[in-house]
Every structure is written in C-alpha cells, then in structure tokens.
Amino acid sequence: MAGFSIKQLRYFEALALHGHFGHAAEASAISQPALSVQIKDLEQSMGMQLFERSARQVRLTPFGEAFATRVREILHRVDALDDFARAAQGRLTGRFRLGVIPTIAPYLLPRLIGNLGKSHPRLDLHVRETLTPRLVQELLQGRIDTAIVALPVSEPSLFEMPLFKENFVLVRPEKDAGKPAPRASELREMRLLLLEEGHCFRDQALNFCNAPSAVPRDGLDGSSLSTLVQMVGAGIGVTMIPEMAMGVETRSAQVNCVAFDDPQPGRTIGLVWRASNPLAEAFEEIGEVVRQSESAATTG
C-alpha cells in the first residue's frame, strides 16, 4: 500500500520547483530540516532517489522527473476535489429524486419543474410518481430523496414538512349548477365516484363522508381524477377533486364545481424525507419552491 501522504507530494512539488531545500521549505511554510526529512521519507517509501543533491544544486533525477509529472497530475485533482467541495457548499447538488403522489403530480409538476429549474439550475431532477405506501418504502430504502404526499405519513424515521392545505371541491353534472353544496350526510346518499383502492385521496374523501370503510363498488371507481370527472360529465354520479385539479380537469368536461360549506374537506400536502438525511436545509428550500408553485397553480 502506498505509504506516502499528500503533504509529502506537495513538498516534493515545491522542491522540484525551487531546486533548493531552504527555499522550498520556506515556500511550504516549514523548516528546512522538516523538508529534508519528508523528502527522504518519500524517497525511501518509493525505493528510488528523486533528487540529485550536490552542494549548489538540487536536481530531479530522470525518475524524479517522470514522478513529478504524475505527482502534479494527482495534486491537480486533489485541488479540484477541494474546489468541488467548496463550490457545492450547502447547495443541493447532483441527482435529486422526488416522489409525488398521482393526485398531485399532474397539476403541480409543470410549474414545479419550471421553478426548480430557475432556483436550482444545477439540479439533476428525477421524478417518481406512485402511491404513498410505495413512496414511503422507496424513501426508506434510499431510492428517492424526498416525496410530496398528503400528511401525516406517521413513519417515525421520516421528517414531515407541511406545505399547504388544499380543499376538495364537489364535481357534479353541469345541470346541477346553482344548487347548494351538499353536506357530508347528503353526500353519502349520492352516487360518489372515487379513485380505486390504494389512493390516499380515496380515503380522505370517504373520511369526509364519515364512511371510512366503504368497499369498492364495481364501475364507480376510477384510476385517475380525469376519468372520474369524465364519468361525472356523463351523468354517472358526482365526485370530489382537489382544488388544484379543477383548472385542468373540468375545462373540457360538462361539469359544475362547487366548494363545500365549512368545515370544508381537504388535506395537508407536505414534503417528507428521511430524518437522517443531512440535506434538511436544502429540502426546506425545495419545499418553499413547491409552496410557491402551488399557490401559483391555484391562483392561476
């Protein structure tokens, strides 16, 4: 195993440059004997003489010259590594793997990606869209860095940063426009179309109706909010969607949206990451960007 140190290589480089122990030592901010010893040790660990000493001259041996070019190459990379670390200081760098649940992704990501590109131009963003349980699992395995999900996830090793609260709105056939918003109890009597099993949004909606354990009913479950809205437009029933989805999903369908009376149903969306992840500060910045992207998406 190589027994020399970076320090020794630096001293070597200085001596090769100055050709004089005294001057090289001064340039290296150590004493001349210290330099002598280090050079001698380096030569010993190499098993080769690097310098030819005479009373007035210190010269590289031919081997020393070949050695010097390699040493310079190494020191150059060492310095570059140092610079690299200094440049990355505190900033989020390299690959950033973000998970997002399906009932958020299509409405938030377009703006979020744009905003992240501006705020963190060096970021290599990877997006994973899947259901909360899988996101949590991938977080714990270190396969993604953070995830945007509905809080709480209540996983002890995950840290949760609340971002915003989003309300749910009722989506009903266009002919119902003008009618008052139904209350939870009334909603239970209507044909409520829901996302299929597994989506947290399904549970959140059912929860509002005080029917948390509703079983799947054939033909009344959709695999996306988009599908549900289309079904409502076709007169099959009513559904609930997050505010954020309104703009995109109800534009092309013959449906009417109405907010519920207080207390409005809704959920808290947040950013989660492993509590052990040292990049908390950077993630909070990311969370801030997500928050801005949401408010723009809802307002606009």
Partner DNA sequence: TAAAAATACTCCATAGGTATTTTAT
Partner DNA sequence: ATAAAATACCTATGGAGTATTTTTA
What are the distances in angstroms from CA 145 to CA 117, 138, 158, 279? 17, 9, 11, 9
Residue 159 binds to a copy of itself (criterion: CB under 8 A):
no
Of 160, 165, 187, 164, residue with least CA distance to 280: 160
Residue 31 binds to a copy of itself (criterion: CB under 8 A):
no
One of 30, 46, 125, 181 touching DNA (CB under 7 A): 30
Give min distance, CB of 159 to DNA, in A.
Answer: 10
74: which 2 tokens? 């190494």
- What CA–CA distance (Å, rounded) separates 125 from 127? 7
Give min distance, CB of 78 to a copy of itself, in A.
Answer: 5
Stretch that binds a copy of itself, among 32-40, 93-101, 110-118, 201-209 (CB under 8 A): 93-101
Residues between 7 and 26 with contacts to a copy of itself, criterion CB under 8 A: 7
Residue 45 binds to DNA (criterion: CB under 7 A):
no
Residue 62 interacts with, from DNA, a copy of itself, none (CB under 5-8 Å by kind): a copy of itself
Q: How does 26-53 read in b/e, with b if 16+ C-beta sit within 10 Å? A: ebbebeeeebbebbeebbeebeeebbee
Give min distance, CB of 139 to DNA, in A.
Answer: 11
One of 17, 34, 73, 252 touching a copy of itself (CB under 8 A): 73
Residue 33 interacts with, from DNA, a copy of itself, none (CB under 5-8 Å by kind): DNA
Cβ(32)–Cβ(22) below 8 Å: yes
161: which 2 tokens? 């940063």
Read out DSSP for 133-166?
HHHHHHHHTTS-SEEEEEEP---TTEEEEEEEEE
Stretch that binds DNA, among 30-38, 201-209, 242-250, 251-259 (CB under 7 A): 30-38
Strand-pair partners of 52: 59
Of 250, 244, 249, residue with least CA distance to 269: 244
Residue 41 interacts with, from a copy of itself, DNA, none (CB under 5-8 Å by kind): DNA
One of 94, 178, 263, 300 touching a copy of itself (CB under 8 A): 94
Give whichever of 93 and 292 is closer to a copy of itself, judged by the CB atom: 93
Residue 175 binds to a copy of itself (criterion: CB under 8 A):
no
Residue 33 binds to DNA (criterion: CB under 7 A):
yes
One of 26, 27, 41, 93 touching DNA (CB under 7 A): 41
Give min distance, CB of 81 to a copy of itself, in A.
Answer: 5
**Which helix (H) or strand (E) element contains residue 257?**
strand 255-259
DSSP alpha helix (H) spans, the chain? 6-18, 21-27, 32-46, 62-88, 105-119, 132-140, 184-187, 200-208, 225-233, 243-249, 280-299
Residue 6 binds to a copy of itself (criterion: CB under 8 A):
yes
Cβ(167)–Cβ(263) below 8 Å: no
Strand-pair partners of 97: 126
Q: How many residues bind a copy of itself (CB under 8 A)?
A: 50
Provide the binding-site residues for a copy of itself, judged by CB under 8 A. Answer: 1-2, 4-7, 46-49, 52-54, 57, 59, 61-63, 65-67, 70-71, 73-74, 77-82, 84-86, 88-90, 92-96, 142, 145, 157, 274, 276-279
Provide the binding-site residues for DNA, judged by CB under 7 A. Answer: 5, 7, 20-22, 29-34, 36-41, 53-56, 58, 156-157, 275-276
